[in-house]
Amino acid sequence: EIVLTQSPGTLSLSPGERATLFCGASQGVSSNSLAWYQQKPGQAPRLLIYSVSNRATGTPDRFSGSGSGTDFTLTISRLEPEDFAVYYCQQYGGSPEVTFGQGTRLEIK
């Protein structure tokens, strides 16, 4: 089973700052099958990034994804007030089919 570990657990930053979120996989993620989601309280998750670095429809270009193999990063270049939320990484190419990381909470400092 591919286990995804996200760090940090909580990230405290101010609007305008740069955020870097990490996702580590216990084994290589095949076919770049790695996505990032944003979730706000009381809402369903929202797909931000798929296939490591492709922005989903409607994702602002301040969000970018990178990485390969076992190490992946979500970067938010300049935080807006609406970006404070919980972020999850997800792999969908391994065994079991799909796993999520435990999440990173991005909070206002």
With b meaning 16 or more CB within 10 Å and e meaning fewer, what string describes 64-80? Answer: bbebeeeebbbebeebe
Among 26, 39, 53, 73, binds another protein (CB under 8 A): 39
Q: Is 24 in the site for another protein (CB under 8 A)?
A: no
| In the complex, least distance from residue 91 CB atom to another protein, rounded to whole angstroms | 8
Distance CA 24, CA 28 (A): 9
Q: Is 88 in the site for another protein (CB under 8 A)?
A: yes
Q: Give the strands of the sheet with 19-25, arranged side by side.
A: 4-7, 19-25, 71-76, 63-68
Among 11, 35, 85, 106, binds another protein (CB under 8 A): 35
Among 30, 55, 73, 103, binds another protein (CB under 8 A): 103
Among 10, 12, 51, 68, binds another protein (CB under 8 A): 51
Helix (H, G, I), strand (E, B) or coil at 51: coil
* Size of the chain in residues: 109
Note the residues at the interface with another protein (CB under 8 A): 1, 33, 35, 37, 39, 44-47, 50-51, 56-57, 88, 90-93, 96-103
